[in-house]
Structure 1
């Protein structure tokens, strides 16, 4: 009986995975996808009926093993691409290069600095910028809540002593007109992209255009670790240019990639359920003592809620110069407690 139960659970898992793969990677025409899904379901159920008729588990196992092998071979042929009709906000790759000469200056290509009026109405601007890593003085984790308290998009902002901030964000690389579907993210539906952006673009578009709630948390890190994390993002950018990669809702998303980058520079960060339920990431970080120690998590959450400050500042500001971006970053951090 136990063997039969295990076999049925394996069959159920195979049917679910196969159904998702066929639905999200099958033909574009809905009628054909429904037909494939129906045939797949009939095959799986037919194999089970044949087993009950013959009482030969070996035959059932052979049918399902053949199905698994066939799906796996087909699945391995699905490769990520760098050449599609990408949406404007994820159309360019980030690239970071060291600048020869004294100091620790780097050049960052394709920094996104859009002006958003809506998701469709925007002024696209990709900029070439340079930063001195020796002037890197703070790292903030931004969490943008868009689907309840458990789910948030994770961004990391690097702040420099001159007031500039650069945000790195791991995102799905949407095609033009495409929308994110968390379930589709399990089935190689989206490529991954690393976006480098001005805070006034990537934070304000979420608060002011998409109606999301954004919280900022300053992370206590040594200066050397900040620079190493910045360069870990640079390496990730290079890898995505050399070899496109699929986004995965569970294993390769906006939070788990940051966790992997932090681990790559020596941070001792164990796996935790809050890496998947990223809305609770602040409590994970607080457990390592890297948030302001003299403030409660609730106080940090309240003080770091930049949503209304971003809306108020953007409503008043009409400038588009570099100082305006610095002023925005300063304004949204008003009231956040210092680390020390």
Structure 2
């Protein structure tokens, strides 16, 4: 009786794994396979049919299930070999890659984006070269921007310098002209990984004013030395991507999991938590860990951290960064 129960559990578990793997393989062929929709659909359907036949014809049944994984493995080997590129017909807002040059404590960054937006699709392009003094880093802030579902947000890191400068970096998809973001396509090899190195007026103003997103800003409790190490780690990756592009992935290489990877590189990463994926609750996680202000009740802090209306009022003002921080707690507590 026990052996039969164990065998049943193993069979059901393996069946679910095979079904999920075949579904992934079919979607990989559909999204990343031939451009012809007819051919891609035929190949995806063929994979499903072959897997079903192998499961039905190979005996015993468990061996048939394992055999059905072989064509999926072949597809996975092909899929992982698809190369990313830095030379596509990009949309203007991601057309240039940033590059950082270090000279002691000073870093010069080429292609810092500072667009002037009239709407999401109507803007003046400004790509600038800026120099920052790493010795003057005072700390790091985190933006959460909600475009719809409250379970998911877009995260943006920003560094504050003693001379009043702010440098924001947003980890995003690099889209080609005529291409739009799809959450499902984000799990496949459809978008290159892109670090937008920009002025806060660009990144935050775009989301609050043009896209109608709700934006929250939190001061992170982190020593200035660790904030500096984190920025250097970010910029090292910016340089690597300029030379060696990588794929974005909605699960493993997204705006939040990649921030955690950078934090781990400088010994600032915490343990895994479900809110790293459902990152609309990331501020609650940071509050529980004492990494943002805890002097206020969380609900009060969150209300004060909603900078959407202040960003709208600040518009394209030169003091945009100062104006959106007027209601924030002054002390980082680091």
Global fold match (TM > 0.5): yes
Paired residue for 1:329, among 313, 317, 321? 321
Q: Distance in 2 between matches of 1:70 and 1:264?
A: 33
Q: Distance in 1 between matches of 2:99 and 2:291?
A: 29
- 1:320 corresponds in structure 2 to none
Alpha-carbon shift at residue 46 of structure 1 (Å): 2.9
Are the counterparts in 2 of residues 142 and 214 from structure 1 also a CA contact under 8 Å? yes
Question: Is 1:57 paired with 2:57?
Answer: no
Q: Distance in 1 between matches of 2:328 and 2:239?
A: 34
Q: Deviations over 1:223-261 (max 9, x none)?
A: 111111111111111221232111111111111111111
Alpha-carbon shift at residue 45 of structure 1 (Å): 2.7
Alpha-carbon shift at residue 268 of structure 1 (Å): 4.5
Paired residue for 2:34, among 20, 27, 34? 27
Q: Secondary structure, in 3 states, of the residue corresponding to 1:203? A: helix
Paired residue for 1:83, among 63, 67, 87? 87
Q: Distance in 1 between matches of 2:10 and 2:279?
A: 37
Q: Secondary structure, in 3 states, of the residue corresponding to 2:42? A: helix
Alpha-carbon shift at residue 8 of structure 1 (Å): 1.6
Alpha-carbon shift at residue 215 of structure 1 (Å): 0.4
Are the counterparts in 1 of residues 11 and 62 from structure 2 also a CA contact under 8 Å? no
- 2:194 corresponds in structure 1 to 193
Alpha-carbon shift at residue 114 of structure 1 (Å): 0.6
Paired residue for 1:338, among 326, 330, 334? 330
Q: Deviations over 1:22-74 (max 9, x none)?
A: 121022233333222222222223333435xxx53366246414312321231
- 1:39 corresponds in structure 2 to 46
Are the counterparts in 1 of residues 18 and 69 from structure 2 also a CA contact under 8 Å? no
Paired residue for 1:72, among 69, 76, 95? 76
Alpha-carbon shift at residue 282 of structure 1 (Å): 0.7
Q: Distance in 1 between matches of 2:121 and 2:31?
A: 25
Q: Distance in 1 between matches of 2:18 and 2:246?
A: 29
Structure 1 unaligned spans of 5+: 318-323
When normalised by structure 1's length, the TM-score is: 0.90
RMSD: 1.8
Q: Distance in 1 between matches of 2:10 and 2:220?
A: 50
Matches within 5 A, 1:273-284: 273-284=274-285
Q: Deviations over 1:95-154 (max 9, x none)?
A: 121235xxx221111100011122221111110001112221131100111131111111
Q: How many residues align?
A: 325
Q: Distance in 1 between matches of 2:171 and 2:309?
A: 25
Report the CA distance shift for 1:268/1:69 in structure 2 as closer, same or farther (over 3 A). Answer: closer
Q: Secondary structure, in 3 states, of the residue corresponding to 1:248? A: coil
Q: Secondary structure, in 3 states, of the residue corresponding to 1:251? A: coil
Are the counterparts in 1 of residues 100 and 109 from structure 2 also a CA contact under 8 Å? yes
Matches within 5 A, 1:86-125: 86-99=90-103, 104-125=105-126
When normalised by structure 2's length, the TM-score is: 0.91
Structure 2 unaligned spans of 5+: 1-7
Are the counterparts in 1 of residues 114 and 201 from structure 2 also a CA contact under 8 Å? yes
Q: Secondary structure, in 3 states, of the residue corresponding to 2:121? A: coil
Alpha-carbon shift at residue 219 of structure 1 (Å): 0.7
Report the CA distance shift for 1:161/1:11 in structure 2 as closer, same or farther (over 3 A). Answer: same
Question: Is 1:225 paired with 2:229?
Answer: no
Alpha-carbon shift at residue 301 of structure 1 (Å): 1.3
Are the counterparts in 2 of residues 139 and 218 from structure 1 also a CA contact under 8 Å? yes
Are the counterparts in 2 of residues 150 and 278 from structure 1 also a CA contact under 8 Å? yes
Q: Distance in 2 between matches of 1:276 and 1:288?
A: 17
Q: Secondary structure, in 3 states, of the residue corresponding to 2:195? A: strand
Report the CA distance shift for 1:67/1:338 in structure 2 as closer, same or farther (over 3 A). Answer: same
Q: Deviations over 1:189-229 (max 9, x none)?
A: 21101111001100010011111111000011111111111
